[in-house]
Structure 1
Amino acid sequence: MCGRFLFSFDVDEVMKSYKVSKNLCNDIEKGEKFPGTKIPVILNQDGKLVIKDIYWGIKYGSKNIINARFETVEEKPLFKGLLQSSRCIIPASSYYEWKVKGKSKEKMEISQIHNESMALAGIYGNFKDGEDNYYEAVVILTVPADESIEDIHPRMPLIISKELIKYWLDPSITNIDKQKMLEANYGQNFSSKNCEGLQQMSFL
């Protein structure tokens, strides 16, 4: 899964790197990003790439759904049609996962060896909250973890390679080639490091 990530860029840097035409963000600061907050998202709007801040997570009863499995996302009513029409990327420096060690857990930072920026795959849409108010939300798509990091967690975010960003964000493509996306994801090199030491876990 992906429950936190690091955004260490200025928005202007992201716009230049991803050839984004318009900045619709209100105020995105550098630092660790958490579910339930607004995060920077790049999407195709009327044929041009824009960056905007969107709420991370879909409010579903008492839960906040922050991830969706890439393999089965089309089967879930909550995400109906979003893979076909509402794909986006979330620019990140790295993401965090917690590796279980006995009764403790170790916070690990995972990044790409040769890239400063990771393009995390997402889908977004408009949803209703408990009071029937509409809001825009994004979830991060996940896949089985690459073998180099599967000892940390069995799943990881789907990471779009630079060569496939244009393809992924093209709204005219409604039938994404999943095998192509997966092959590119696992063709990248990942590294991990302990970034916080061990924390005690509670099994109560």
Structure 2
Amino acid sequence: MCGRFAVTLPPERFREAYGYEEAPNFPPRYNIAPTQPVGVVLQDGEARRFRLMRWGFLPGWVKDAKDFPLVINARRESITQKPTFRAAIRRRRCVFLADAFYEWQREGDRKVPFAVRMQSLGPMPMAGIWETWSDPQGGEIDTAAIVTTDANGLVSAIHHRMPVILGKAGLATWLDPDTPLDRIGALTDPCPDDWLRLDRVSRRVNKVANDDAGLLEPVTDDKSARGDDEGVRETDAVQADMQEQQQEEEPRQGSLF
């Protein structure tokens, strides 16, 4: 499950890594949460493009977004079969701009946050899918979800799921809309442990309103981890972990707006 991530590197680093034609300028964001706008890369003919999309996937066949649950992740094991995702996985694949994601480890009655980053501290190519949804009035919104897989050995110490993280060759194959599904499956295996580093961080990340570089600073003891919100036990992002069993079910109570 991935319910929070960060985009903190300079925009030029992402453009160099992914080769899209646009030159967007955006500030660092240390605590990106579901339903917020996120930057993604997609393939458009021979060119790669940068797009802003809403983090919360809506398939094109949904008539009323308010009747559809919040879908921020898509499980690799069932992505080709579920009606919600099976059209997008074929030809509308993307990569989320990110250089870290957060995951929570349960310790008794609380959850302790960790930041997962590349060992290089460079861009982290998280695989995604996207869809353009049209409302009854004709308005359109681009929406996206992160594809998840089993945790690798490193991340499994804190959680059983993680985003699909692509290598350089895998990124090009993933973005190519002509890549057949039988080649996509292998790209969604957990990445090698030695690609990543894992750091315990302050529970200040629990609050979406906290958005500063201190959220990614490693902490070494429980006192440091508390930050300024010791009493927080379950927040909206931590509760995203509870949605894992809901994310691929048929529409029911829930709202993206």
Which of residues 208, 225, 233 in structure 2 aligns to 1:201? 233
Matched with 1:38 is 37
Q: Does the Cα contact within 8 Å between 1:90 and 1:119 map onto a contact in 2?
A: yes
Question: Hey, which of these two has a bigger chunk of helix by percent?
Answer: 2
How far off is 1:80 after superposition? 2.6
* Deviations 1:108-166 (CA, angstroms, capped at 9, x unpaired): 10112235111000000112458774321000000010011112111000001112111
**CA distance, structure 2, for counterparts of residue 128 and residue 151 of structure 1:** 41
**CA distance, structure 2, for counterparts of residue 97 and residue 180 of structure 1:** 24
Higher Cα radius of gyration: 2
Question: Hey, which of these two has a bigger chunk of strand by percent?
Answer: 1
Matched, 1:172 2:171: no
Matched with 1:122 is 128
Q: Does the Cα contact within 8 Å between 1:84 and 1:176 map onto a contact in 2?
A: no
> Structure 1 stretch 44-53 or stretch 128-137: which is displaced more?
128-137
Matched with 2:96 is 90
Q: Does the Cα contact within 8 Å between 1:145 and 1:155 map onto a contact in 2?
A: yes
Aligned partner letter, 2:72: I
* Deviations 1:21-50 (CA, angstroms, capped at 9, x unpaired): 224x5x632112111111110111122011
Q: Assess, with a 3 A threshold, how the Cα gap between structure 1 residues 122 and 165 changes in structure 2: closer, same or farther.
A: same
Matched with 2:240 is none
**CA distance, structure 2, for counterparts of residue 191 and residue 134 of structure 1:** 38
* TM-score relative to the length of structure 1: 0.87
How far off is 1:179 after superposition? 4.6
Matched, 1:181 2:187: yes
Structure 2: give runs of 5+ residues left out of the alignment.
Answer: 59-64, 203-224, 235-257
Please give the secondary structure, in 2, of the residue aligned with 1:118.
coil
**CA distance, structure 2, for counterparts of residue 5 and residue 39 of structure 1:** 10
How far off is 1:69 after superposition? 0.3
How far off is 1:187 after superposition? 6.2
Give the alignment of 1:63-78 within 5 angstroms: 63-78=69-84
Structure 1: give runs of 5+ residues left out of the alignment.
Answer: none
* TM-score relative to the length of structure 2: 0.70
Aligned partner letter, 1:30: P
**CA distance, structure 1, for counterparts of residue 145 and residue 70 of structure 2:** 10
- Paired residues in the alignment total 200
* Deviations 1:66-96 (CA, angstroms, capped at 9, x unpaired): 0000111111111131111001101211100
**CA distance, structure 2, for counterparts of residue 2 and residue 184 of structure 1:** 14
Matched with 1:156 is 162
